[in-house]
């Protein structure tokens, strides 16, 4: 039982905690913004927050924060920005889980079109005067040259899509050297399917590989890197966008626009016919219940319109100065009252002017110094890409042509039944368990049944090469670290950073240096996967019984003999556990690697996420799980002594 003294102390602590909570609540009330006291009497959206989709490209982010600021300050609305993929946001809008998507391109989303037909969504306004352009582009210096940079025109006659086959060598794809590379939208975007159908329609898929970037950020990084290095690139892009304002691009001419042909290309139904891209209307999508309940806000959204130059300048400033959308929106509203005052009535204009006059609502805490290393990193990375990008790219091509592609080709060309038979033999040799062997083979067979065998081989080839590189780096470094306390002290914080730093942070620098595809995926995977092998190699060597070393030394062994015949064999279980963990971490990078253009199972998972195709994503995800289980169990088994494996008494590793 609890003693009276202890019970009394617990009650005192509880009372103190309650007092602190009460004090905190009072402080929050005192610190609440006084602007709310000036809010109009009407209740926005029935008192519920207006939820916006968090669209992460510059034009949409800027527009979203413009709307958020105006609704919050002029209409006294509570607002919330909800992150998610475009497809998820569109589905949520149809269900009224979101109320506003600030930027919708007309005729590009089947989800939005279906929701409009069902009366669940309304599309209002025309936010970009003249509409948004999209098409196929190359850097202008390829056609006209750039005297300031000493670049001669390399494709002076490149005008229309009919000229592209003649220049396929200029845009050579390192993964398919007999073809050029067309850089398409990320898998799952509407424009990805549109571009794929146009390539096929014009017969360009015989001359160009249809390469998907993985993510919009990867696409932007590839375009930026090509411009910094002065290299050729054929790609799809759109306006408004930061890169369109930053770089001079040359648009490839396509046949004249035909609405009926465009509808066929977008839907994928019917007989396709030649057409240019639609000059899309940019508008605002709102849920139908929100539109009915808030006619004043809908009237405001219908009047919103930006000039192309205004939007492009704002996007360029966001891109060049790394300005967040919220900050850029506030700058625009303060500097351009003549623009937004035409969107609102007098009362709302007055409220917004009053709010902008009070400045930003962000609290400036004077105890923090203002400094950022982002500009320093960006400036030096751009210099490295410009000065050394070609060297990195060539070394990456050597690795691609002589290692990655041959291994992948070997896996995809071997008959599936032979690989299944090899897995069965390997599993039986490792585990001596017939039931487990049958289950492993059956699991891999099921992956082939659902049509993912080739992607399984692509994924396994990347994991295999990443693991081999990790072994070549990890075990020697682990051996050196085990013999040097100073080296261990240096390596530990470095490995901590490698394991905890989000992989997305170093994906873009690696991408800009090596380009899209398998090579940056390999480097990113090795960075993430090698630390466990180094750690467990060091651990295994340090835990070798000193008496075994002394006995070996008494026989006069050399240092090499001590390492190869005594310490490494005794540390084998720990080293094998490190190889197992390294392999698992390499496999965990599959989906991340797909974001920078690596093919395989991760590509289907990413596409499932971006298009809300749950079945496709789940199918590929289960395939990754099956592959992980097979690799894990076999590598764990080989970490056990042969005698235990033969007896079938394996000790499970954690």
In this predicted model, what pLDDT tens digit does every residue of 469-492 receive, in sequence order? 999 999 999 999 998 899 999 999
Q: What pLDDT does 626 receive? A: 92
The CATH number covering residue 226 comes to: 3.40.190.100
In this predicted model, what pLDDT tens digit does every residue of 449-469 receive, in sequence order? 999 999 999 899 989 999 999
Look at residues 220, 246, 267 and tell me which one is the last residue of a structural domain: 267
Exposed/middle/buried for residue 287 (C-beta within 10 Å: 0-12, 13-18, 19+): buried
- Residues 294-311 have a mean pLDDT of 88
- Position 41 pLDDT exceeds 70: no
Q: How confident is the model at residue 216 (pLDDT cuts 50, 70, 90)?
A: confident
Q: What pLDDT does 360 receive? A: 47
Residues 564 and 622 grouped into a single domain: yes
- Residues 112-131 have a mean pLDDT of 88
Please answer whether residues 456 and 411 qualify as being in contact, where contact means their C-beta atoms are separated by less than 8 angstroms.
no
- Residues 32-47 have a mean pLDDT of 55
Residues 141 and 118 grouped into a single domain: no
Residues 340 and 424 grouped into a single domain: no
- Residues 551-558 have a mean pLDDT of 84
453-482 and 518-542 helices, crossing angle to 10° = 40
Q: What pLDDT does 254 receive? A: 93
Residues 493 and 517 grouped into a single domain: yes
Residues 107 and 188 grouped into a single domain: no
Contact partners, residue 538, CB within 8 Å, separation at least 6:
478, 481, 482, 488
Flag whether 556 is in a domain: yes
- Residues 591-618 have a mean pLDDT of 79
pTM here is 0.71
Q: What pLDDT does 363 receive? A: 47
In this predicted model, what pLDDT tens digit does every residue of 348-403 receive, in sequence order? 888 888 888 754 445 455 676 777 677 777 777 778 877 787 788 788 888 888 88
- Position 134 pLDDT exceeds 50: yes
Q: What pLDDT does 200 receive? A: 92
Contact partners, residue 582, CB within 8 Å, separation at least 6:
467, 470, 471, 474, 529, 530, 532, 533
Look at residues 238, 267, 296 and tell me which one is the last residue of a structural domain: 267
Q: Given 3-state DSSP classes, what are the helix, strand and coil percentages for the chain, each rounded to the nearest 5?
A: 65, 10, 25
Q: How far apart are CA 348 and CA 227, in angstroms?
A: 45
Q: Any idea which of 215-219, 443-447, 464-468, 576-580 has the lowest mean pLDDT?
A: 215-219
Q: How confident is the model at residue 415 (pLDDT cuts 50, 70, 90)?
A: very high
Q: Highest mean pLDDT range out of 267-271, 330-334, 633-637?
A: 330-334
Q: What pLDDT does 357 receive? A: 73
- State the chain's mean pLDDT as an integer: 83
In this predicted model, what pLDDT tens digit does every residue of 191-210 receive, in sequence order? 888 899 999 999 998 999 99
Residues 562 and 639 grouped into a single domain: yes
- Residues 330-357 have a mean pLDDT of 88
Flag whether 373 is in a domain: no
The CATH number covering residue 417 comes to: 1.10.3720.10
Residues 71 and 89 grouped into a single domain: yes
Q: What pLDDT does 286 receive? A: 93
Higher local confidence (pLDDT), 36 or 332: 332
Flag whether 117 is in a domain: yes
Residues 72 and 149 grouped into a single domain: no
Domain total of the chain = 3
Q: How far apart are CA 162 and CA 202, in angstroms?
A: 8
Residues 444 and 495 grouped into a single domain: yes
- Residues 412-430 have a mean pLDDT of 91
Q: What pLDDT does 515 receive? A: 77
The two beta strands, 176-184 and 208-212, are parallel
Exposed/middle/buried for residue 335 (C-beta within 10 Å: 0-12, 13-18, 19+): exposed
Please answer whether residues 232 and 139 qualify as being in contact, where contact means their C-beta atoms are separated by less than 8 angstroms.
yes
Structural domain boundaries enclosing 91: 45-128+280-357
The proportion of the chain whose per-residue pLDDT surpasses 90, expressed as a percent, equals: 30
Q: What pLDDT does 599 receive? A: 81
Look at residues 316, 342, 357 and tell me which one is the last residue of a structural domain: 357
Q: Highest mean pLDDT range out of 29-38, 220-229, 327-336, 496-505?
A: 327-336
Q: How confident is the model at residue 29 (pLDDT cuts 50, 70, 90)?
A: very low
- Position 24 pLDDT exceeds 60: no
Q: What pLDDT does 525 receive? A: 87
- Position 253 pLDDT exceeds 60: yes
The CATH number covering residue 80 comes to: 3.40.190.10
Q: What pLDDT does 472 receive? A: 93
Flag whether 285 is in a domain: yes
Please answer whether residues 407 and 468 qualify as being in contact, where contact means their C-beta atoms are separated by less than 8 angstroms.
no
- Residues 324-343 have a mean pLDDT of 88
**What tokens appear for 530 in the block?**
């090698």
Q: What pLDDT does 650 receive? A: 46
The proportion of the chain whose per-residue pLDDT surpasses 70, expressed as a percent, equals: 89
Residues 189 and 286 grouped into a single domain: no
- Residues 607-620 have a mean pLDDT of 80
- Residues 280-287 have a mean pLDDT of 89
Residue 208: beta bridge partners?
A: 180
Residues 242 and 156 grouped into a single domain: yes
Flag whether 180 is in a domain: yes
Q: How confident is the model at residue 140 (pLDDT cuts 50, 70, 90)?
A: very high
Residues 621 and 509 grouped into a single domain: yes
- Position 6 pLDDT exceeds 90: no
Exposed e or buried b for every residue in 627-645, given b needs 16+ CB within 10 A? bbebbbbbbbbbbbeeeeb
- Residues 245-249 have a mean pLDDT of 84
Q: CA triplet 143, 145, 146: central angle to 5 degrees?
A: 145
Q: How far apart are CA 139 and CA 231, in angstroms?
A: 8
């Amino acid at each position: 039982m609890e003693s009276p003294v202890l019970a009394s102390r617990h009650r005192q602590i509880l009372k103190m905690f309650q007092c602190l909570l009460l004090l905190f609540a009072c402080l929050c009330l005192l610190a609440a913004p006084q602007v709310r006291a000036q809010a109009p009497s009407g209740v926005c959206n029935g008192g519920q927050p207006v939820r916006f989709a968090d669209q992460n490209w510059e034009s949409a982010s800027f527009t979203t924060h413009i709307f958020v600021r105006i609704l919050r300050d002029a209409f006294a609305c509570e607002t919330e920005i909800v992150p998610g993929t475009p497809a998820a946001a569109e589905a949520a809008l149809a269900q009224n889980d979101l109320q506003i998507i600030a930027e919708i391109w007309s005729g590009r989303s089947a989800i939005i079109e279906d929701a409009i037909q069902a009366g669940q969504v309304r599309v209002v306004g025309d936010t970009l005067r003249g509409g948004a352009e999209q098409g196929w582009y190359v850097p202008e210096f390829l056609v006209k040259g750039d005297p300031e940079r000493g670049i001669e025109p390399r494709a002076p006659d490149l005008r229309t899509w009919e000229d592209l086959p003649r220049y396929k060598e200029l845009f050579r794809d390192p993964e398919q050297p007999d073809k050029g590379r067309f850089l398409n939208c990320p898998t799952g975007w509407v424009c990805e399917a549109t571009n794929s159908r146009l390539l096929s329609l014009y017969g360009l898929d015989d001359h160009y590989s249809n390469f998907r970037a993985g993510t919009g950020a990867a696409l932007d990084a590839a375009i930026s890197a090509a411009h910094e290095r002065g290299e050729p690139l054929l790609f799809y892009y759109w306006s408004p966008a930061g890169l369109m304002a930053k770089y001079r691009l040359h648009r490839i001419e396509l046949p004249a626009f035909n609405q009926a042909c465009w509808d066929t290309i977008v839907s994928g139904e019917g007989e396709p016919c030649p057409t240019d891209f639609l000059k899309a209307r940019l508008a605002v999508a709102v849920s139908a219940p929100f539109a009915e309940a808030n006619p004043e806000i809908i009237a405001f959204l219908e009047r919103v319109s930006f000039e192309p130059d205004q939007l492009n300048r704002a996007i360029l400033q966001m891109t060049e100065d790394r300005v967040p959308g919220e900050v850029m929106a506030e700058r625009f509203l303060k500097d351009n009252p003549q623009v937004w005052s035409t969107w609102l009535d007098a009362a709302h204009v007055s409220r917004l002017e009053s709010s902008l006059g009070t400045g930003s609502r962000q609290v400036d805490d004077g105890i923090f110094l203002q400094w950022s290393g982002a500009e320093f990193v960006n400036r030096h990375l751009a210099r490295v890409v410009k000065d050394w990008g070609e060297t990195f790219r060539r070394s990456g091509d050597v690795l691609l042509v002589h290692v990655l592609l041959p291994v992948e080709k070997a896996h995809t060309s071997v008959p599936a039944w032979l690989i299944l038979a090899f897995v069965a033999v390997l599993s039986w040799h490792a585990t001596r368990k017939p039931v487990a062997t049958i289950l492993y083979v059956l699991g891999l067979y099921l992956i082939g049944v659902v049509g993912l065998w080739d992607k399984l081989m692509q994924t396994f080839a990347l994991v295999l090469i990443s693991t081999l590189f990790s072994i070549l780096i990890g075990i020697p470094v682990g051996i050196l670290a085990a013999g040097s306390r100073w080296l261990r002290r240096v390596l530990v914080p470095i490995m901590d950073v490698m394991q905890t730093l989000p992989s997305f942070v170093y994906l873009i620098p690696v991408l800009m240096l090596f380009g899209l595809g398998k090579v940056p995926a390999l480097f990113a995977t090795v960075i993430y996967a090698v630390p466990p092998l180094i750690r467990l190699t060091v651990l295994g060597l340090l835990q070798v019984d000193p008496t075994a070393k002394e006995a070996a030394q008494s026989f006069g062994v050399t240092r090499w003999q001590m390492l190869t015949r005594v310490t490494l064999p005794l540390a084998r279980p720990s080293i094998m556990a490190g190889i197992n963990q390294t392999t698992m971490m390499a496999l965990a990078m599959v989906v991340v690697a797909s974001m920078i253009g690596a093919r395989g199972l991760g590509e289907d998972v990413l596409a499932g996420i971006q298009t809300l195709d749950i079945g496709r994503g789940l199918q590929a995800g289960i395939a990754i799980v099956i592959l992980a289980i097979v690799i894990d169990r076999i590598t764990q088994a080989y970490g056990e002594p042969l005698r235990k494996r033969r007896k079938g008494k394996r000790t499970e590793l954690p």
